[in-house]
Structure 1
Amino acid sequence: MDKVSFQTVHQHAAAMPPIESGMPVERPGEMPAQSLQSFSAENRRSPVKPNGCHSHAWRRWLVLGSALLLSVWGINEMRAVLAVGEMTFVEYLVLLLFSLTFSWITVAFSGSIIGFFYVLGQRRSPPARSKIPLNGRTAVLMPTYNEAPERIFASIEAMACAVGETGEGKAFDWFVISDTTDPDIALTEEAGFHALRERIGKTVNVYYRRRRQNTARKAGNVADFCRRWGAHYDHLLVLDADSLMEAGTMLELARRMEADPDAGLIQTIPQLINGTTLMARLQQFATRVYGPVVGTGLAWWTDKEGNFWGHNAIIRTTAFMSAAGLPDLKGAPPFGGHILSHDFVEAALIRRAGWSVIIAADLGGSYEECPPSMIDLAIRDRRWCQGNLQHSRVVTAKGLHWVSRTHLLTGIMSYLSSPLWLMLIMVGLVLALQAQFIRPEYFTDEFSLFPSWPRMDAARALTLFFFTMIILFTPKVLGFISYLMNGTLRRQSGGFFRLILSFILEVILSALIAPIMMLIHSGAVMSILLGHDSGWNPQRRDDGSLPLKSLIYRHRWHMTVGIFLTVAAYFNSLVLLAWLSPAIAGMLLAVPLSMLTSSWTVGARVKKWGLLRTPDEAQRPAIRQAMDDTRVAYEEAISFSPDLVEMASNPRWYAVHLALIDRMPSRPRGQVDAVEATAAMKIREATSVSEAVSYLNQREQALVLATPELFTALSHLSQLTPANVR
């Protein structure tokens, strides 16, 4: 384009109609960081309703008491299996590891039995929904970090329009709060936002803000919004970049929050949708079929001490800002610094302050997407693993409810259980090899009339194995039975026989994938213990494929462990090899499994056969269809988005972008940002906008876009001509 003078830029910008800011007027509020070392019960609020925060103790006794009895029985049985003769050190180690891993699965078993009966009841007679008009205001927050803008803005439009059709649109404002660091994506976000405002901005309040520095990641992003704009709103409805929620669900959440003055947070149980690869379809099928039973059981016994999973939940702004400000943990990452898995901690702090936290297991219409491959799942779980292990620094915080501590421990054990299972396999293998190859000491130094034989009760061991499998698979079986009993769900999932085949396929593939994920989680735990930070990478949502060479590299250790276990078991006995074969098979087949489960082609073929089908595929959710229909418009708008050169040179784009730049925080004198200083120097030495942009790296370009002075200096280069170039 032709160069224009800097003064002309400003003259044109001033002549244009006023450009609306990306955000509303700020209304600052306090959100102090909470102390984990001290808490006074006097600071806990008193419930408005007599039983506003009261939970039913008998529910805990029933579920956790049953789990405890099962654990005691199982541990005692294992002791009896090993204690036929005098127990050795290795046998004691086996007993310890078995105790930890077995006790871990009994709670899900007990809770799923309760959940099974409640799910049957809810499907026969769904709970009534309130129709009371809303009085409060809700801010719907869509945090994003280097995600596809067309997906985000299409979903915002679909949800906002659906809510507007109910007549309650004025009760909701919609915010895209960006932490994007890629300058190209940041520019397309702005183009998507302009398209959103042009399409629905006259009837719906939609806003956009990109932070200059993404301090504390998603938790810091939401906290920044609360401190600057949160006081405008009664509630926050927090979504994720891949979230969708039906209008009826959003309205019901807001109505429940208004009807219960003691509710601090209400969490839905999201359903996975839009899975195309086989891995995504496996997760989608499992959460749709088994998830309701497990989730309903959890919601039932945790009662008013539920949990928060970071998105698809509504939060009372007062409760969140007064009680859930996160402190930084002492020390450096991975155990110190910002709290990564902020959601569990925020729920615990809200409950500590005297608010209830509820899991609304009866609410449908809440959706999200899932990683498309094992590799993507591993990348996400690496970050989650670090965040959950950080909770070891939080679980002892003063004043937390014991159920909140249980949630934190559950998060920790969800990753520690993998190395514990791996250690149990290895120690069991050592025990077998010891009995096979090492000469036993039949007579110890102590006087005894009888030798110390290395014996085990084989029959009892077999019984315990089958009992453990029952404990492990009961949640799946109950979920499947409850699903199979519902005629509508059964027909929408392909009918009786396809549903049976889908169940078998899911069980087999999950059994093969489980040992690989066990090794992945074990490696993540080891990495964290060695002090490695996870970083923060954007998540892939669609394509999960990788080149074969990359898959071999990523799964090399998984195959190595499989080969080692195969050789060790073979030289012991074929019986031991047969017992270990379910775990070994998955490890040896790690590469082809990873390739098949991440393939769009294989996933599409399985979908065509009607396997792993969910009701959302038979009857596509209206909100999803609306998003897909709308997405085309945003893809077109984004395709015409300017690059940084045009943004800085074109008077209109220049003025529009300045209106969207977030407010600069004050900088203490003498504290200079090295990236900002370097970018300023590069701009100063350039003779044109295009030359300056070519000097700037990606991080510097992103900072220029977020800094009015730097962006103005870049635009100033458009006035230079060969005659006045330095």
Structure 2
Amino acid sequence: MALPLDTLNPLAAPATADAPAPPPAEPFRPAMPPEAPLPMPVQDLRAWRPGPDRPEPARPWLARAFVFGGGLGLTAYGAFEMYQVVSVSGGITVLQYLLLALFTLNFSWIALAFTAAILGFLVLLRRPALPAVPGRLTTRTAVVMPVYNEATARTFAAIEAMHEAVEATGQGHAFDWFVLSDSTQPDAWIAEERAYLALRERLGPEARLSYRHRPKNHHRKAGNIGDFVSRWGGGYDHMLVLDADSLMTGACIVSLAAAMEADRQAGIIQSLPLIVNRNTLFARLQQFAARIYGPVIATGLATWSGRDGNYWGHNAIIRTRAFAEACGLPDLPGKPPFGGHVLSHDFVEAALIRRAGWGVTMLPTLPGSYEESPPSLIDVAIRDRRWAQGNLQHSRIIGAAGLKAASRQHFATGIAGYVASPLWLAQLVVGLALVLQTAYVRPEYFTPEFGLHPVWPRFDPERALRLFGLTMGILLAPKFLGLLLALIDGPVRRACGGALRLVVSSLIEILLSALIAPIAMLVQSGSIFQILAGRDTGWNPQRRDDGSIPIRDIVRRHRWHMVLGLVAGISAFAIATSLFLWMSPTILGLVLAIPISWASGQLAWGLWLKRRGLLMTPEERDPPAIVARAGALSQHNAGDGLDEADALSALHADPAFARAHALMLPPAPARPRGAVDPDRALAGAKILEAETIAEARAWLSPRERAALLHDPALLERFGRLRSGKA
């Protein structure tokens, strides 16, 4: 007679004819702690009743006046100069008015970024003090890592490295660790469970490491976190939210928890993650830019936002009570892409927490927060498509009742970041049309306004050149400010290879970014047009390795960008040589779109620059201990081959693990009589007919495999199949 499942030790070796039966097994330790529910009501975006009075923080009015007042002043000046450029003939045509409007919108975007960067530069120039080392923590924090079809070698290496680092601070008692899986691929799910059980065995019973897999990834990452908060959040004061590629030092994690303890009105405290472990050409560009320019931009944002800050979805600590009280996200009315569940949930959660009176702040100078980035231009474009849809969804939320003005500004900034691309494209098209009109179309003799002379669409070339120089200066200023800070910081300058290599690296980054910019403009514009046409995006797992994309996929994605560049170049040259020269950066980027995209994902090109000390960052020159430890653990984990293993073969080969898997399954939902799950029924029929696991693997579809893995009875039947080949 078989023993009940709850009395079996999944890690015990099975008895054989040559070995005595093992001693009585201890009960299987559950993968999750007892539930501690926390109510998480769905929020109403159309109405808002303020809750308990919380002290309103002093807002940084001076910083906001500098950023927004300066941005407004610069925009007004730029618009005036553009008006002077196009009104040299004494009148303006309709196309020139359109050009003026588009220029003003685009210029306002870069002017605001410029003034915020100036503010960040001035703050960092004073060398703000780092957070103090905290004393003993008295609160409890859940460190949660949501995963979705990720490589377990990397994710569990990161968890193990961070766990060790926190234990080394002496504050390990204050943290519990959770891997929250939304994986839909059976092989990824089973690899996660095997990696979890192995890590739990290594860390021992005191590690407080837990794992949960959701049968349905309802509402994706937001639903994953919401499920944890509503079921287990009551047991924790805070949760530290990670991404699958996140790494944080023990000191950084403990400092965030201490900051939450010290600020009882804080709802979210966001760190600034730096990019590490990147080696392809494009990823190294991003890594260098984030390290040298990112702190200037982030510090400016943090300074003017104050306690009305934003949340980037990871590497941040959140007060669980505040999150449960304020962040139950509703489905938006209508169908995707503008309706349905909220994609870019992090901005919305920050706005709703702030609406409830909790503070949202950022610690941009707190060291020890890291992440990774996509390895190529196409990988960024795939992720960007989802972000574009999520940010445009915010147009349905920006007017929600009760939001703070700064929260609405964060929404507006996110929307503008994607709308800027089609606006820039429109400005180029209108400018090209105006030059064409000047060269080939007769003047407009009869205008709505009375005049004695016809209206010629002429320009002031000298003023236009000055305005172009001003625009480029404002656009590149955040980069130059970040470079200046790095040059005057001795340790950073030396770690980047010295002043000369640092300057050359910045020039390389600026040049390559200028070539990539028109490609990104068309990619983002295409995403915006698809969204406006009603096309929804999926939620594919992000590619994080350094492998290159096949050339056929690159040609397919960029062939029309190249054609458009050739057409624009030929047209501009036919109209005027000066126009061709003025448009040459855009034309060159588009004509070379295929080789640029190919080069972006090349590991060899990135490593060639690395060997010559170019695009180096301090974290690359002298890797932080947490990064080195996670890398070593990842290599060790990869040797186990869990990510390459077949789920069904792994379960069949290890009955102890199969029993552990069955015990980790959530209780099956009640099934109405007569309601048959076709995937489960087909899986059962095929397993009943199969004689070997090879036959079962060949016959089962992906959906039927998933149904099998969720059903203990089918798993038991599957375990009785022979392992021989069909």
TM tier relative to shorter chain: over 0.9
- In the alignment, is the contact (CA less than 8 A) between 2:237 and 2:321 conserved in 1? yes
Aligned to 1:96: 101
Distance 1:39 1:154, change over 3 A: same
Q: Aligned to 1:494, which of 484, 493, 497?
A: 497
Instruction: Find the counterpart in structure 2 of residue 118 from structure 1.
Output: 123
CA shift for structure 1 position 81: 1.6
Counterpart of 1:3 in structure 2 is none
Equivalent residue for 1:631, pick from 631, 634, 645:
634
Pairing 1:603-614 to 2, within 5 Å after superposition: 603-614=606-617
Call closer, same or farther: CA 1:667–1:227 in 2, change over 3 Å.
Answer: farther
Deviation at 1:601, TM superposition (A): 0.8
Q: What is the aligned counterpart of 1:46 among 43, 53, 63?
A: 53
In the alignment, residue 176 of structure 2 is paired with which amino acid?
A: D
Partner of 1:375: 378
Match of 2:288, SS state, is helix
Note the residue ranges of structure 1 that are not aligned, 5 or more in a row.
Answer: 1-5
Q: Do 2:187 and 2:646's aligned partners in 1 also have CA atoms closer than 8 Å?
A: no
Aligned to 1:357, what secondary structure does the other structure show? strand
Alignment of 1:188-199 (within 5 A): 188-199=191-202
- 8 Å CA contact 2:6–2:663 kept in 1: the answer is no
Q: 2:228 aligns with which of 225, 230, 237?
A: 225
d(CA) in 1 for partners of 2:676 and 2:298? 50
1:148-297 maps to which residues of 2 (within 5 A)?
148-297=151-300
1:157-187 per-position Cα deviation (integer Å, ceiling 9, x unaligned): 1110111111110100111111111111212
Q: Of the candidates 21, 34, 37, which is equivalent to residue 28 of structure 1?
A: 37
- SS, match of residue 471 in structure 1: helix
Letter in 2 for 1:78: M
Cα distance per residue 1:202-240 (max 9 Å; x no partner):
331111111111111111111111111111110010000
Query: Whole-Å Cα distance in 2 between the matches of residues 251 and 474 of structure 1?
Result: 35
TM-score (norm 1): 0.94
CA deviation after TM superposition for structure 1 residue 699, in Å: 2.7
C-alpha deviation, 1:450, in angstroms: 2.5
Q: How many residues align?
A: 709
Q: What SS does the corresponding residue of 2:239 show, helix, strand or coil?
A: strand
Name the SS for the 1:403 alignment partner.
Answer: helix
What is the CA–CA distance in structure 1 between the aligned matches of 2:471 and 2:459, rounded to whole Å? 18
Report if aligned partners of 1:191, 1:641 keep a CA contact under 8 Å in 2. Answer: no
Change in CA separation of 1:669 and 1:328 when aligned onto 2, cut-off 3 Å = farther
Q: Indicate which of 560, 564, 588 corresponds to 1:561.
A: 564
Aligned counterpart for 2:62 among listed residues 54, 58, 64? 58
Q: Deviations over 1:520-573 (max 9, x none)?
A: 101111111111111011111122412222211111111111112111101110
1:391-417 Cα distance to aligned partner (Å, 9 max, x none): 111111111101101111111111110
* Greater alpha carbon shift after TM alignment, 696-705 vs 93-102: 696-705
1:649–1:470 Cα change, 3 Å: closer
Question: Could you tell me whether the CA contact under 8 Å between 2:176 and 2:208 is conserved in 1?
Answer: yes
**Superimposed CA distance per residue, residues 56-82 of structure 1 (whole angstroms, 9 cap, x where no aligned partner):** 222211211111111111112212221
2:414 is matched with: 411
Instruction: Tell me, yes or no, if the aligned pair for 2:275 and 2:371 is still in contact at 8 Å.
Output: yes
Deviation at 1:451, TM superposition (A): 2.6
Q: Is the aligned partner of 1:533 residue 2:536?
A: yes
Alignment deviations for residues 616-641 of structure 1 (CA, whole Å, 9 cap, x no partner) = 11111100111122223322344496
In 2, Cα distance between equivalents of 1:178 and 1:668: 27
Tell me the amino acid that sits aligned with residue 287 of structure 1: A
SS in 2 for 1:181: coil
RMSD of aligned alpha carbons: 2.2
Letter in 1 for 2:48: F
Work out whether 1:621 is the aligned partner of 2:624.
Answer: yes
- Quickly say closer, same or farther: Cα 1:10–1:210, change in 2 above 3 A: closer
Change beyond 3 A, Cα 1:93–1:183: same
Alignment partner of 1:505: what SS? helix
**Cα distance change on mapping 1:446 and 1:142 into 2, 3 Å:** closer
Asked if the contact 2:143/2:241 (under 8 Å) is kept, the reply is: yes
Q: For residues 550 and 5 of structure 2, what CA distance do their matches in structure 1 show?
A: 50
1:621/1:528 Cα in 2 relative to 1: closer, same or farther (>3 Å)?
same
Opposite residue 661 of structure 2, the aligned amino acid is H
**Aligned counterpart for 2:700 among listed residues 685, 696, 699:** 696
Query: Which residue in 1 is equivalent to 2:81?
Result: 77
Greater Cα shift, 228-237 or 664-673:
664-673
One-letter amino acid of the structure 2 residue matched with residue 647 of structure 1: L
- Bigger shift: residues 177-186 or 604-613: 177-186
Shift in alpha-carbon separation, 1:277–1:447, aligned structure 2, 3 A? closer
Q: CA distance change for structure 1 residues 579 and 325 in 2, over 3 Å: closer, same or farther?
A: same
Of 445-454 and 371-380, deviating more is 445-454
Cross-structure match for 1:451: 454
Give 1:331's aligned residue: 334
- Structure 2 residue matching 1:175: 3-state secondary structure: strand
Given that 2:96 and 2:457 are in contact with CA atoms closer than 8 Å, whether structure 1 keeps it comes out as no
| C-alpha distance in structure 2 between counterparts of 1:399 and 1:643, whole Å | 49
CA contact (8 A) 2:186 2:647 kept: no
Query: Could you tell me the TM-score, scaled by structure 2's length?
Result: 0.94
Residue type of the alignment partner of 2:101: L
Bigger drift between 199-208 and 658-667 goes to 658-667
Structure 1 residue identity aligned to 2:336: P
Whole-angstrom distance in 1 between the partners of 2:6 and 2:123: 67
Q: Secondary structure at the match of 2:639?
A: helix
**CA contact under 8 A between 2:121 and 2:482: conserved in structure 1?**
yes
What is the distance in 1 between the residues matched to 2:628 and 2:665? Answer: 33
The AA in structure 2 aligned to 1:95 is: L
Deviation, structure 1 residue 446: 7.1
The CA distance in 2 between the partners of 1:692 and 1:146, in whole Å, is: 23
User: After superposition, where does 1:305-316 map in structure 2 within 5 Å?
Assistant: 305-316=308-319
Q: For 1:336 and 1:447, locate their aligned partners in 2 and report how far apart those are by CA, in whole Å.
A: 49
What are the Cα deviations for residues 590-620 of structure 1, in whole angstroms up to 9, with x where unaligned?
1111121211111111100110000011111
1:39–1:399 Cα contact (<8 Å) kept? yes
Distance 1:570 1:674, change over 3 A: farther
Please tell me the residue identity of whatever aligns with 1:146: N
Match of 2:149 in 1: 146
Q: 1:439 maps to what in 2?
A: 442
Check conservation: 2:519, 2:590, Cα contact below 8 A.
yes
CA distance, structure 2, for counterparts of residue 104 and residue 677 of structure 1: 57
Query: Which one is further off, 591-600 or 370-379?
Result: 591-600
Shift in alpha-carbon separation, 1:161–1:463, aligned structure 2, 3 A: same
CA–CA distance in 1 between the matches of 2:541 and 2:411?
Answer: 25
- SS at 1:555's partner residue? helix
What's the CA shift for 1:718?
Answer: 7.0
Cα distance 1:130–1:102, how it changes in 2: closer, same or farther (>3 A)? same
Residue 585 and residue 262 in structure 1: after superposition, are their counterparts in 2 closer, same or farther (change >3 A)?
A: same
Cα drift, residue 301 of structure 1: 0.1
Overall identity of the aligned pairs, in %? 49
What corresponds to 1:503 in structure 2?
Answer: 506
Residue 113 of structure 2: aligned partner: 108
Question: Which deviates further from its counterpart, 589-598 or 80-89?
Answer: 80-89
In structure 2, the CA distance between the partners of 1:717 and 1:116, relative to structure 1 (3 Å rule), is: same
CA positional deviation for 1:663: 3.7
Question: 1:570 touches 1:576 (CA, 8 Å); kept in 2?
Answer: yes
Instruction: Describe the superposition over 1:640-697 as per-residue Cα deviations: whole angstroms up to 9, x where unpaired.
Output: 9674145147431221111222343445667655434443443454455543333221
